[in-house]
């Protein structure tokens, strides 16, 4: 039946049952059976007498097979686990990593029942509207370097959003992505390591893609790509773009051992720079965000004593922005 799917995918308009049967050397009854099975999997196939069949939702279908199709990467997403529902893709990816899942393994869920955000927050992950995905990465780096991976994911995701939707995506250091001042993407990176060795890193990326509305308590601060660009966005294409951009940045990072090569691109998208920020932590303070270092840290000038300081990780809120 997937051979039928491929033929329909390649065809612009209708394709007759007779042509499908001839092409695949199967009977028209077998074609009909295949069409029925594809419909059961969620593919919308229009059937019109004397014209044949037409795939009506090729861009909105989202499953393991669709994600595998046409992915142009070497490692990222070359092994895919797709769940209709799971608690959180970060947990699944962690379990798979412990069982030896290879570098670049991608875990995707249609719905998360216990989506996790940073600082113990819940990440709403409803069915069918977003991209809830985690990766297994096995870089040979020191634990202290791992925060750069989060920045790479943020950069790759922002670039992918711009490429797919034309929206301008701003990165709030280290890795929230804001569109027109509201958050559309969150990234939660978890790691398994010893003092001097990283076993694996699990970046979990959540993208509000086709969400039509948010509950009142977050509507002021959250948005989706659909709400910002006014059209349905293909999750399949967006996942592909994120993986492709991430693979390129990740390879550069491993080859050069630094964030320096991505710095210019990151700076351009980073909305934190030049702003007054509130650095949270054990002793919160106000500062001006000056620059990003070649290690991916935030360089700030403290408001209280005028001294420059490097912020490694943690929460930074921008004054006047969420
Ligand atoms: C944040 O901004 O607080 C981070 C949100 C991270 C959400 C993603 S969705 C995929 C992965 N699974 C989770 O439970 N969380 C991350």
At residue 282, the pLDDT reads 82
At residue 320, the pLDDT reads 76
Can you tell me which atom of ligand 1 is nearest the CA of 114?
Answer: 14
Bridge partners, 198 (sequence order)? 193
Which residue ranges have their beta carbon within 6 Å of ligand 1? 88-90, 112, 115-118, 121, 123, 125, 132-134, 176, 186-188, 204-206
Distance CA 202, CA 104 (A): 10
Q: Which of 201, 195, 239, 243 is nearest to 97 (CA)?
A: 201
The pLDDT profile of the chain, 322 residues, written as one tens digit per residue, is 889 999 998 888 999 999 999 999 999 999 999 999 999 988 999 999 999 999 998 788 899 999 999 999 999 999 999 999 999 999 999 999 999 999 999 999 999 999 999 988 999 999 999 999 999 999 999 998 999 999 999 999 999 999 999 999 999 999 899 999 999 999 999 999 998 999 999 999 999 999 999 999 899 999 999 999 999 999 999 999 999 999 999 999 999 999 999 999 999 999 999 999 999 888 899 999 999 999 999 999 999 999 999 998 767 888 877 6
To test the pocket of ligand 1, the residue of 85, 126, 205 to mutate (highest count of ligand atoms within 8 Å of its CB) is: 205
Q: Which of 126, 29, 127, 109 is nearest to 63 (CA)?
A: 109
Ligand 1 centre to CA of 89 (Å) is 9
Identify whether the C-beta of residue 12 lies closer than 8 Å to the C-beta of residue 32: no
Q: How far apart are the first and last CA of the chain?
A: 48
To test the pocket of ligand 1, the residue of 116, 119, 132 to mutate (highest count of ligand atoms within 8 Å of its CB) is: 116
Helix (H) or strand (E) holding 47: strand 45-48
At residue 322, the pLDDT reads 66
Q: Which residues contact 144 (CB under 8 A, 6 or more apart)?
A: none
Distance CA 89, CA 204 (A): 7
């Amino acid at each position: 039946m997937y051979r039928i799917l491929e033929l329909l995918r390649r065809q612009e308009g209708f394709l007759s049952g007779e042509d499908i049967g001839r092409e695949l050397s199967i009977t028209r009854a077998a074609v009909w059976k295949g069409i029925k099975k594809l419909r059961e999997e969620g593919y919308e196939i229009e059937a019109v007498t004397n014209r044949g069949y037409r795939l009506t939702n090729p861009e909105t279908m989202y499953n393991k097979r669709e994600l595998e199709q046409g992915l142009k990467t070497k490692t990222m997403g070359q092994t895919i686990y797709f769940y209709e529902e799971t608690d959180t893709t970060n947990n699944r990816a962690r379990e798979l990593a412990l069982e030896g899942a290879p570098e670049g393994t991608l875990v995707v869920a249609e719905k998360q029942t216990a989506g996790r955000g940073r600082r113990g927050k819940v990440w709403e992950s409803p069915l069918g509207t977003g991209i809830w995905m985690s990766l297994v990465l096995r870089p040979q780096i020191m634990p202290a370097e791992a925060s750069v991976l989060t920045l790479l994911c943020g950069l790759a995701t922002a670039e992918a959003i711009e490429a797919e939707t034309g929206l301008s995506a701003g990165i709030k250091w280290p890795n929230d992505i804001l569109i027109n001042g509201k958050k559309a993407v969150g990234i939660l990176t978890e790691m398994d390591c010893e003092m001097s060795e990283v076993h694996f890193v699990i970046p979990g990326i959540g993208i509000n893609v086709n969400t039509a509305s948010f509950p009142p308590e977050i509507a002021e601060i959250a948005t989706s790509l659909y709400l910002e660009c006014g059209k349905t966005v293909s999750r399949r294409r967006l996942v592909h773009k994120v993986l492709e951009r991430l693979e390129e940045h990740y390879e550069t990072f491993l080859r050069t051992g630094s964030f320096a090569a991505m710095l210019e691109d990151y700076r351009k998208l980073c909305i934190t720079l030049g702003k007054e920020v509130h650095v949270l932590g054990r002793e919160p303070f106000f500062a001006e965000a000056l620059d990003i270092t070649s290690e991916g840290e935030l360089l700030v000038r403290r408001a209280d004593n005028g001294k420059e300081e490097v912020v490694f990780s943690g929460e930074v809120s921008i004054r006047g922005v969420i």
